[in-house]
Chain A
Amino acid sequence: MTAQTQGGSAGGFFAVAWAVAGRQTYKYFRNPAFLAPALFPLFFFVAFAGGLTRVGSVPGFDYAAGYTAFQFVWALLQAVSMGGAFTGFSIAGDFENGFARRLMLAASNRRGIVLGYVMASIARAAMTGTLVTVLALVIGMRISGGYDVFGLIGLVLLANIAATLFGAGVAMLMRTQQAGPVIRTPIFLVLFLAPVFVPLRLLNGWLEKIASINPFTTVLEAARGFLAGQPENVLPAFGIGAALVAVFAGWSLYALRRAEKAGG
């Protein structure tokens, strides 16, 4: 089985990826419950942007695009990251119901399976990201970043891919839907142990210390900078995003090999 992970033509790799992505995307959009993972980010966004607007007038809060935009970036990153986590749940489900075993037997290049899940997750993230963005525009968010917004989209994409690869790795290692909390909890913690409500310089105490060393903080601040048209920490943010993708790609391939050894 391992030979199929390491070998296989590039054509086989992409054919498997397309097939898996097509199935996953179809499954996602066919199920009326597909919007469920988008509900939490939407709801957090509405609750924080609507209920905490006055926090934007705290002395020292100087985010140019306003509090709604400040919260939007976090909600968007949360939506796409949790989208990645939900793809992990889906993979775990595939292992539990036996589909993954059949998939691994049929795939000419099994690394394509991982790419397929990532592609499906990107399609899913595009949907939930669009929902969050439309809602933000409806409730009056201003976008002052112009073309810088593409930088924000790039970071959002990296966050989604990294979260998906992490979730895929856990799902393929555990191969049961009980992997849910193991996938969800670290992502949730990384998202919340960051400057969610106010910029980093307005945090204090233990949260400020943790947020300072949380790599997600750099990504979040750079993404907020793009939306406000004041890019900051661009290289470190993309560097962190790319590094997370590389590390979790290795992690998911390791988990795939473990799943192969276990016979799917």
Chain B
Amino acid sequence: MGALFTQVSSLAARSILRTARQPAVMISALLFPMMFFAINANGLDAASRIPGFPADSYVDFAFAFPLVQASLFGAITAGSDLARDIESGFFDRLSLTPMRPVSLLLGMLFGVIALGLVQGVVFLTVGVLFGVDVRSGFTGMVVLVGLMIFVALGFGALGATLALRTGSVEAVESSFPLFFVLIFMSSINLPRNLIEADWFRFIATINPISYLVEGIRSLVIIGWDAQALALGFGCALGIVALALAAAGTSLRTRMAR
């Protein structure tokens, strides 16, 4: 157990350092979600005038967007890093050492969690500075960061699964539109009861991302909404469990090759 901890912590430190040493990755992970948030929040400000809109300000409503999008960037980054390790032969060399391959996966996922934590704190700070009113207060912010970490872990494990299955950086990068589609085909831009097109509302309702978004959003625009939080954390944990199982299976398959 002690050996596993040492291995995981070493690889987690490597994963964190590798991300921190790539300014382009850090800038993309922090800047792009905020840029999209700023544009969307201002561009759709008029939507807050729709009767029945649940928030006074679209900025508050849209704040879940950068948090979820940031997790997506984290997943792609982590998946690409793992795929690069496979492409470069690092993964194969590692398998010849006493180090357990699961350590690489766990180390990488701790790197994802660390990035998610940084993103959550930075976005909350910037959001509050720019006038986002988090109704659930400081405790709510802590819960929000916690939920974001689960979301990042879930997406990160999906990115790892893709990397382990394909072993190709290009294939992981190509999955970006798929994740992006999942985010946009949810209740990210409007609450589900205000989505007019039936087919879109149906997709948003069966899309688990909607519940992650609504859980995060409830902490900002409502305060403490037990149902939204239960669904948000439930979906996040479900994604984490499924994605970790898929990553574990993919890891075993790759080791058997």
Contact = CB atoms under 8 A, between A and B. Distances in A.
Interface of A: 36, 39-40, 43-44, 46-48, 50-55, 57-61, 192-193, 195-198, 202-208
Nearest to B28: A181
Contacts of A208: 42
Contacts, number: 82
Classify the secondary structure of B's interface with A: helix
29 contacts: A39-B177, A40-B180, A43-B181, A43-B184, A46-B185, A48-B189, A50-B195, A50-B199, A50-B200, A51-B195, A51-B200, A52-B47, A53-B197, A54-B195, A55-B44, A55-B46, A55-B50, A57-B50, A58-B47, A59-B49, A60-B46, A61-B46, A195-B43, A196-B39, A197-B47, A203-B46, A204-B42, A206-B42, A207-B42
Contacts of B181: 43, 47
Interface of B: 38-39, 42-47, 49-50, 174, 177, 180-181, 184-185, 189-190, 194-197, 199-200, 204
B45 A51 contact: no
Contact of A51 (B42, B174, B197): B197
A32 to B, nearest CB: 13
B46 A202 contact: yes
Given A52-B189, A57-B50, A59-B49, 19 more contacts: A43-B180, A46-B185, A50-B199, A51-B197, A52-B44, A52-B47, A53-B195, A53-B200, A54-B194, A54-B196, A55-B46, A55-B50, A61-B46, A196-B43, A198-B46, A202-B46, A203-B43, A206-B42, A207-B43
Given A39-B177, A205-B42, A51 B49 contact: no
Which of B43, B47, B177 is most buried by chain A, counting CB atoms within 10 A of its CB?
B43
A192 B43 CA distance: 9
Q: Is the interface of A mostly helix, strand, loop or mixed?
A: helix
Contacts of A44: 184
B189 A203 contact: no
Given A43-B180, A50-B199, A58 B46 contact: yes
Given A198-B43, A205-B42, A43 B177 contact: yes
Nearest to A67: B196
A262 to B, nearest CB: 25
